[in-house]
A and B are shown apart, each in its own frame.
Chain A
């Protein structure tokens, strides 16, 4: 075995040439060694703050990168033109990173944690909820117990189940609420003069009108929510489906769901041989008049889509008697963000009455507020009451009647995988 000597004479050209391959091999081994070390066990917990003033001092001058889905022009414009200036007034620069899928942000954080980059992450703030939040929590990717510090959290009810649990995962101060959403069925009044009033009614209507209905393929967010709606319906109501996932409950309840969907499939668009890959593709089918009924987990955007002519004037939201799923979406702060204080300032500002009122205006974005309207002062409450009414989307009170709670997030991949192997592979 040859020992490398630091003062050996310079290598001759021949040996230098021969060293290319060994050098490459060394590079490869180094690369593997760098990557193969186990993921760092002590995940970062982030800085500690004593009070809000502490946060404000730390936040001054920070630049916060907000990673959010960029497919909604109204949402982009709200953040750029309304929220960012308000943050700037408090010394925080807000930069929006437009992404095509929230998973991109989560995967970035995971990769950084995998690489042991614990204090200078590229993601400071994410618009998030549901299974993305749960996955991040499992991987200890969130900065937690920070929402109590936000002054504006006093405007939010601390007993609202939509805000204390996110798809069955306890929030635990790891994310701050931003807005509420209600799963909604949407129909074209011109082609469906007498719309059904229950979920089962919708499925029957689809069978009576072959080719005029479909739903996005799971694991699309909306398509996956539709599976849960139908699961509630075939199980005789959400009360009969345990929120906490168990293999037994899945084995007992899911066959009825897949049987119903299997029966429905031949009556769907393209006879159920294929499904739209995303809820956007579904909306496109509806916009082009290929189907007469669709669904969305973001009814807020419908008003603008009707106004700019993407959707027909006769687009209406259907309220069903059995109620639909409701959820809230949140701001999460990755534990390895380098601008945690700044991100907290932005999250707090987004919860202010002014921002929530502006965001709830259908002309701006139309997102339902997370504030507890009953606890607001009369003046603040009047601001919400004075908001213009959308001609397409009913108010949140009407929409969320009989609202169904979301199942725990473990249900989601189980139902999605089952759908792929039984229905998609039909």
Chain B
């Protein structure tokens, strides 16, 4: 063992000790959470009766494909809106003038609202006899079916609203330390506003934009309150289906709920995995 070799090794030991405290709680929660969900979906942890391995739960749930497509559709559209709005919001905030400050404060306020409250509030705003309809004086029968309508408008709007604020917060947070000097340098060298946005701001923001969008996407697929409160009765997104089954009066529905949860998890992991592969290709990261 030579001295040259031992130095990186000491570094490695220190690095391991630095990472370990974060790994332990995450490992317990993720492995425990996924493990117990999978075990339940396979019928190995029944509420009553003896455990027996079976995949019945995955087969007995009807219209799974329709629900999966609906979940994906809602998540893709709302995440796309959130990414675009969030990016431009971040640009406004970083510009640092008074308008940016107002937008910064409002978007920060939006980040702090729990989704449950957001859903209740969007419902009060957009429903047939909601605040907007009242203020504009439009009677319920002429108001478009935004809440619980065929377009899932209110659900998508709520997610897009909350997640765009989140995307903006993440981008501002990661860029604030270095963006302005680059931007000023580019401006001094004569770059136009559009060119600065395209060639300086966007490439620098892209990695955090992608990560924030992936988080928003995963959240949208996994949460149920918004779709349950503002959505249509049928078809239902995966998360709503899982919770309905979990809360079902029959004791045997729990494995089915777990099966839907496992499918949601796989779907989320697959899509976020693709996004992360995209991230590795971006040079600005690292």
Contacts and interface: CB of A to CB of B under 8 A. Distances in A.
Direct A–B contact in complex, judged by CB atoms less than 8 Å apart: yes
Interface in B218-257: 228-229, 231-235, 244, 246-251
A46 B45 CA distance: 24
Interface string B39-65: 100001111101100000000001100
Interface string B16-53: 10001001000110011001100100001111101100
A204 interface: no
Interface size class of B (residues with CB under 8 A): 35 or more
Interface residues of A, number: 47
A36 B228 contact: no
B35 to A, nearest CB: 5
A289 interface: yes
B12 interface: yes
A421 B148 CA distance: 18
A131 interface: yes
Nearest to A130: B249
Contacts, number: 115
A36 B39 contact: yes
A288 B246 contact: no
B278 interface: no
A174 to B, nearest CB: 16
B149 interface: yes
A409 B251 contact: no
A39 interface: yes
Contacts of A24: 23, 27, 31
A103 B251 CA distance: 12
B249 A288 contact: no
B10 A135 contact: no
Contacts of A274: 145, 148-149, 232-234
A31 B31 contact: yes
B250 A135 contact: yes
B140 interface: yes
A56 interface: no
B12 A13 contact: yes
A80 interface: no
Interface stretch (A14-22, A351-359, A397-405): A14-22
B251 A135 contact: yes
B233 A16 contact: no
Contact of B36 (A31, A103, A217): A31
Given A35-B39, A288-B129, A219 B249 contact: yes
The 3 A-B pairs at the shortest CB distance, nearest first, are namely A288-B129, A131-B249, A13-B13
Given A27-B27, A113-B47, A273-B150, 11 more contacts: A14-B12, A17-B12, A24-B23, A35-B32, A36-B39, A36-B44, A38-B45, A38-B51, A39-B46, A138-B251, A140-B48
Interface of A: 13-14, 16-17, 20, 24, 27-28, 31-32, 35-36, 38-39, 101, 103, 107, 110, 113-114, 131-132, 134-135, 138-140, 211, 217, 219, 270, 273-277, 284, 288-290, 409, 412-413, 420-421, 424-425
